[in-house]
Structure 1
Amino acid sequence: MIPEKRDEKPSEDIISDYDAQSEALKLFFEKNIVRNYVSFWWLGLINNFHYCLVGSASDDISERFNVKELLGLLPCANAALNFVVRFINTFCTPRLSYNIRFIITGLQTLIGIALVCVSWPIGNSSGIAAYVIALIGVVFCGNASAYGESVSLAFMECFPALTVGSWSSGTGGSGVLSSLIYLGLRSAGLIFPYIFLLSTPFILVYWVCYYFMIRIPIVKGLPAALGFSALSVKGEDLHYEINSFHEPPLTKTEEYYRMITGGSNWWATSWGDIPRLTSDISAEEEDRNIGAFERLRRWWRRKGDVICEIHRHMFANYMNLAIVYVAEYASQYMAPYSFARKRYAESTNFWISNGYVILALCYQIGVLISRSSLYCVRIKKVWIITLIQLLNTGGWFAQAFLLFISSDDEATQSKLMFALFVWMIFVGLMGGASYVNVFHNVLDQIKNEETDMIISMENPSDEEIFRIKQLYKEKAELAMNIGALYQCLGITLGSVLDVFYAVFVLGDKIRNR
């Protein structure tokens, strides 16, 4: 029998049934799991693609402008303003529409590509000036990756926790793909500006995946109850289809599931600012007529307790992530100094002549494997990874200084290169494992806190559930972005350590090898 459409509101006991609402949303995500996971995988891949492409091209860029000892400035530039853009996203523009934020991410990458390409012809007349322009372009590429990561991690908070595993796997794949593309096109005779230019279509794919491929739930009449209005999803008119003649009767979960439709971000997500909590609106009105310092003090009074609470629970995870990234980047950018390249300058051996790019590829292979491992292996004691990575760093610094894995014989050196390749894969494995497990630990703990809070309440109302979910959504976004800031700190310190070691410790060894 055809169900009768009615505009009447379901009973209040259904509206307040949090478990049924959560199960309905879970069914929606399960229905769209393949589409969403593939879309997030591509978002992660393209988000980090040009950041990783800079890593593969670093040796050629510094060689082109005859500043080999300053190669470490390229990863520094890649991370130079990452802290700033992450801070802006976390604290200055938390209400800006995600639609606009993803446009900003792509535009930054396009500007970076343009500047890197322009630097090549300028290098014919002034190497230092061209290198500075290339560094500015790299800053834009790095900013795009950092800003995009910060935005994506916050956006994913509204999706199932394992979504971060799909996105992280994509970020790992970006390193492998960028290294393979660079290695292949370089071997074919293309110079780095052409390779960067050919990568611009990836930005279009990035926008298509976010705006049209990801399916988000549009909850008819009850966006607040399921908490997804934190993304400012456009509401719909209240239309329920209750089948009173259905045998057996619909469960509460099924009734809620029928209230959910899917939509794409382009049409369903508002381009206006994300709605604020009433307390936030009142606070902003109070802050309008006071000075900047007083506004900052009041902001800390409102948010400081939350930030301190996050650090009490997450500080160990954050510090492990930062230390691992210091060690990871310090190890990775010792690679160009870890074999005597001038000795084999005229070598036709593929493994030696392309040694640095292959080492970059090996590092990215390790990252891809470990960032894709969340579904198979969970590591809660991340300090073990940190300790291993520190040992790796000590080994790579010793290799750059002593060249203990090296030979004067070209055939022997070719074989020894594979020892370096395997070692670099291991460095990537440790770095990727720390990244994915730390962020999963953070997100999982926040979600558990939210669930415990709601369960502890006796018959919570619709509005109470919405407010709790929105508060924890904001807490999760803040926690993920704080983690990204620690990651950025680690990258910056690791890159600075590389430059210091190359200039003041290795010194003439670099120029004479």
Structure 2
Amino acid sequence: MGGCAGSQQRLSDSEGEVSAPELRPILLDRQGAHWKNVIGFWLLGLCNNFSYVVMLSAAHDILSHERTSGNKSHAVLLADILPTLVIKLLAPLGLHLLPYSPRVLVSGVCAAGSFILVAFSHSVGMSLCGVVFASISSGLGEVTFLSLTAFYPRAVISWWSSGTGAAGLLGALSYLGLTQAGLSPQHTLLSMLGIPTLLLASYFFLLTSPEPLDPRGEEEAERAARQPLMGSEAPEQQSKPDSSTNLSFQEKWTVFKGLLWYIIPLVLVYFAEYFINQGLFELLFFRNTSLSHAQQYRWYQMLYQAGVFASRSSLRCCHIRFTWVLALLQFFNLAFLLVDVWLSFLPNIYLVFVIVLYEGLLGGAAYVNTFHNIALETSDKHREFAMAATCISDTLGISLSGLLALPLHDFLCHLS
């Protein structure tokens, strides 16, 4: 009996020795799939916003060459915001009926179209069409890719957010660098047609299929700690994510009401943020520096984008659950800078540099933490819809700020 037991023990040990090497290829495959997915989402975030940033800069250049009035710049802003706003408003209602691949194709084609239209533009109308195409590409892409994160591990949300932050910084730097190196705006734009191609390649060739390789261990470990947005979350709803087509209107409305806890703070953060950017940046002018007015404005934009990139990449270091705090801090920034525009009490531009960098940090942190919290606190069944519905927050905040910031900017200019 002892020999038999010893044989069985050795057999069991030998089976364990054999099974470990057999598991290694599976683990390596999963690790490889993880890195392909997070890099893929980082590139998707970069490409989705990169085209938008570069094209807008070029459109403003072309409009200035056309010697257009200030009202035309307002037209650029409207062409920039309105198509994205319409897409994000309608997305939760019916966009999920269209498969992901056609949506990504449309987004890529619109991005390429925006480059081509602005590059060959000889009129304000054609330039504005390019702005509209870029807005459609960016809005449709953001809704699509954030909804797609519902079918992947939650880590991809942080990587997507980091990519979108990098787009603002790299987009502005690349356009500025290439034009200053001697390329014409037209050739600069045409040289960037590879960006939409990279977007399509990242989606169709880099991302893996989420179903066979999506590791569930992380989700099982965190599930007990979830505080769902919906109190009636049932265990059977927490399997793999389902398509939003299975949700009734009543379910969507219930989920949306729960999302307001995160939507409202993000709207407020972006309202205050873009009120500063659109209404106050040009008025924060210091004469006791070697920087010209245009150079000061460019430094404000660059530091803001650097702050956004840093905080959108910071989720692993810092997770903020109560995003209302970020909204309050951003409104304090707005009030402080508005008083300085009125009274000019700050002694030098470097204090404004610090505040603008801080403004970008708050805005980026609000974005990445909002979507991360929603991913944690919605059931798998509702996550795709929740991501699409929350996308409206930033665009709505920007639109509302534009309605107030532009008239205020003109009013303050008349006073000075």
1: CA distance, partners of 2:183 / 2:337: 30
Q: 1:196 aligned to 2:189?
A: yes
CA contact (8 A) 1:69 1:503 kept: no
Q: 1:338 aligned to 2:283?
A: yes
* Distance change (3 Å), C-alpha of 1:218 and 1:481: closer
Q: How big is the alpha-carbon RMSD for the aligned residues of Structure 1 and Structure 2?
A: 3.2
Q: State the secondary structure of the residue aligned to 1:81.
A: helix
Q: State the secondary structure of the residue aligned to 2:96.
A: coil
Q: State the secondary structure of the residue aligned to 1:333.
A: helix
1: CA distance, partners of 2:243 / 2:327: 39
How much has 1:401 moved relative to structure 2?
4.8
Q: Per-residue CA shift, 1:456-512, capped at 9, x if unaligned?
A: xxxxxxxxxxxxxxxx0xx21111111111222112112222222223443474xxx
**Equivalence map 1:458-469=2 (5 Å):** none
**Equivalence map 1:54-203=2 (5 Å):** 54=55, 56=57, 60=61, 63-64=64-65, 65-68=67-70, 71-119=73-121, 121-122=122-123, 130=124, 132-188=125-181, 190=183, 192-203=185-196
Which residue of 383, 386, 396 maps to 1:489?
A: 396
Letter in 1 for 2:326: I
Aligned to 1:476: 383
* Distance change (3 Å), C-alpha of 1:358 and 1:57: farther
Letter in 2 for 1:431: G
Q: Per-residue CA shift, 1:60-85, capped at 9, x if unaligned?
A: 45543343465454343221121222
Q: 1:328 aligned to 2:328?
A: no
Counting matched residue pairs gives 365
Letter in 2 for 1:323: L
**Equivalence map 1:60-459=2 (5 Å):** 60=61, 63-64=64-65, 65-68=67-70, 71-119=73-121, 121-122=122-123, 130=124, 132-188=125-181, 190=183, 192-217=185-210, 219=212, 303-334=248-279, 336-340=281-285, 353-405=294-346, 416-446=348-378, 449-450=379-380
* Distance change (3 Å), C-alpha of 1:324 and 1:193: farther
Q: Which has the higher helix share?
A: 2
Unpaired runs of 5+ residues, structure 2, are: 1-24, 217-241
Task: Report % sequence identity.
Answer: 28
2: CA distance, partners of 1:100 / 1:320: 32
How much has 1:140 moved relative to structure 2?
1.6
Q: Per-residue CA shift, 1:384-405, capped at 9, x if unaligned?
A: 1000111222233344455555
Q: State the secondary structure of the residue aligned to 2:317.
A: coil
CA contact (8 A) 1:98 1:151 kept: yes
2: CA distance, partners of 1:423 / 1:114: 37
CA contact (8 A) 2:58 2:118 kept: no
How much has 1:29 moved relative to structure 2?
4.4
2: CA distance, partners of 1:73 / 1:372: 33
1: CA distance, partners of 2:352 / 2:71: 21
2: CA distance, partners of 1:368 / 1:276: 31
Q: State the secondary structure of the residue aligned to 1:337.
A: helix
Q: 1:501 aligned to 2:408?
A: yes
* Distance change (3 Å), C-alpha of 1:328 and 1:196: farther
Letter in 1 for 2:54: L
* Distance change (3 Å), C-alpha of 1:425 and 1:109: same
How much has 1:48 moved relative to structure 2?
0.6
Aligned to 2:13: none
CA contact (8 A) 1:329 1:495 kept: yes
CA contact (8 A) 1:150 1:481 kept: yes
Q: 1:43 aligned to 2:36?
A: no
CA contact (8 A) 2:59 2:127 kept: no
How much has 1:276 moved relative to structure 2?
7.6
How much has 1:207 moved relative to structure 2?
1.0
How much has 1:375 moved relative to structure 2?
1.0
Moved more, 193-202 or 357-366: 193-202
Q: State the secondary structure of the residue aligned to 2:248.
A: helix
Aligned to 1:34: 35
Letter in 1 for 2:205: F
Q: State the secondary structure of the residue aligned to 2:391.
A: helix
How much has 1:193 moved relative to structure 2?
4.3
1: CA distance, partners of 2:355 / 2:185: 27
* Distance change (3 Å), C-alpha of 1:359 and 1:61: farther
CA contact (8 A) 1:337 1:400 kept: no
Q: Per-residue CA shift, 1:43-99, capped at 9, x if unaligned?
A: 101101122235655764554334346545434322112122224443223132211
Q: What TM-score, normalized to structure 1? A: 0.64
Q: State the secondary structure of the residue aligned to 1:215.
A: coil
1: CA distance, partners of 2:130 / 2:142: 18
Q: What TM-score, normalized to structure 2? A: 0.78
How much has 1:185 moved relative to structure 2?
3.0
* Distance change (3 Å), C-alpha of 1:199 and 1:93: same
2: CA distance, partners of 1:151 / 1:401: 42
